[in-house]
Structure 1
């Protein structure tokens, strides 16, 4: 532990619903906040022993020492990232979706081939960027941004044509921040599996994994998913 007797957990800013509520990780509301407190209790920590802090999303999985015991903000588990940090077992899998302005011709796209003509914007060094580069392979250069908020703002400002997001984040930002955007469809593939991030070779990983396994076995994780991540409406599938 970074501080004896304390579980230090970091997250990004801003925080999106339904993962966190009111941009406040300490309130225990939202799927990831509630999950952290459930894990902490399973490991023998009281609520007061959980201390939250901020680390930028990209910095969470960069090489080097970390100021947190673990980090949680919808971080995708990927093989390249495993070279720099350790991950917990996955706690949720989410599909990727295409989002674009409601009045954009992108809304008529039904396949990856239809999407390749458009300008993509995305978060630098993210699983979204990898998916765009490796799977969609657009013809124009991809515009990358230091934060996901910047990438979304560029889309709203029509500096780019289209963006890739996880389903829940797309629904949240459309509902609360960018009502002029809409979900085009669900992209092919498994999407992404989310995990907690640890300093490389952290001895805490097996303890968190055991706590997570216990929450899976006793139904707590399923209950949290049902409470905070309701089943989405049907969206069209984007063909390969």
Structure 2
């Protein structure tokens, strides 16, 4: 498959994994890993920007050949698309205002009662939205097109909590000026029913050769150190199997 033209769908609004920088360039961990994978597989790759809600529909409509956008490998998604092996795995976590007197229990069974009536922001059509909708029915789920919109509402006091990937919240919010005065609360959350088993590259069903080429390329960049070099540019821990 060397020389094959492969179009990759990504969101461009999920720092530090994929985002548009001040110069209008597509950046992030997803993007650099995708380029390394394409180089290892000998593919000629290009990116297509797509909003999150339309990501899988765009793949099925053949706007691109694969999705590299921190998409969790869940059983629900497996019903309509195939996935490569996971290329990173990080847990979810809640963020709140530091001054807010609220706690999130360590035990999932107690969480719904503890958060009853609170407004919880999530990205629409995400695994986190599925988790809150199913496991926290007594809370008020507030869904946004992008995580940035949820973070802005949290910062302005219109939300009590935001639930998202812990690394995205840490690097894209808590470590920024907008995140001053906010903090993580509660345990790491990784419920396979909702959060799956890491983030993988999504492909249309039946694209077995493309999937296996990406899997082989992932093994190669893990073995030759390219994965670790990219990881070190963004994180001070290994996101391949993180528990932060």
| Structure 1 contact 122–163 (Cα < 8 Å) conserved | yes
* TM-score with structure 1 setting the length: 0.79
In structure 2, the residue matched to 1:65 is 61
What residue number does 1:40 align with?
38
Corresponding residue SS for 1:104: coil
2:157 matched residue in structure 1: 158
Task: Give secondary structure in 2 for the equivalent of 1:230.
Answer: coil
Identify the structure with the greater strand proportion: 2
Match of residue 214 from structure 2:
208
What corresponds to 2:95 in structure 1? 99
Report matched runs for 1:2-13 at 5 Å.
5-13=4-12
Is 1:230 matched up with 2:236? yes
Local SS of the residue matching 2:162: strand
Q: Structure 1 166/24 Cα, relative in aligned 2: closer, same or farther at 3 Å?
A: farther
State the Cα distance separating 1:25 from its structure 2 match: 9.1
State yes or no: 1:194 paired with 2:199: yes
- Superimposed CA distance per residue, residues 152-190 of structure 1 (whole angstroms, 9 cap, x where no aligned partner): 222222222111111111012222343343222432436
Cα distance in 2 for partners of 1:23, 1:129 equals 29
Q: With structure 2 as the length reference, what TM-score do the two structures score?
A: 0.78
Tell me the SS of whatever aligns to 1:8: strand
- Contact preservation (8 Å) 2:17, 2:31: no
Contact 1:93 1:194 (C-alpha < 8 Å) held by counterparts: yes
Contact 1:60 1:197 in 2 (8 A): no
Q: 1:39: how far off?
A: 0.6
1:87 corresponds to which of 83, 88, 96: 83
Contact 1:76 1:127 in 2 (8 A): yes
Gaps of 5+ in 2: none
Runs of at least 4 residues off by over 4 Å: 18-21, 23-27
Root-mean-square deviation over aligned CA pairs: 2.9
SS of 1:92's equivalent in the other structure is coil
Cα distance change, pair 178–147 in 1 and its aligned pair in 2 (3 A): same
Partner of residue 183, structure 2 = 182
Q: Would you say the 8 A contact 1:100–1:181 is kept in 2? A: yes
Instruction: Write out per-residue CA displacement over residues 40-73 of structure 1, whole angstroms, 9 at most, x where no aligned residue.
Output: 111114xxx3322211112112373231121212
Using the TM superposition, give the Cα deviation of residue 126 of structure 1 relative to its aligned residue in structure 2, in angstroms: 1.0
> Does the 8 Å CA contact 2:4/2:42 hold for their aligned counterparts?
no
Structure 1 unmatched runs, 5+: none
Aligned partner of 1:149 in structure 2 is 148
Please give the alpha-carbon distance, in whole angstroms, between the structure 1 residues aligned to 2:9 and 2:60.
16
Give the count of matched residue pairs: 225
Cα shift at 1:31:
2.0
Q: What is the alpha-carbon distance in structure 2 between the residues aligned to residue 164 and residue 170 of structure 1?
A: 9
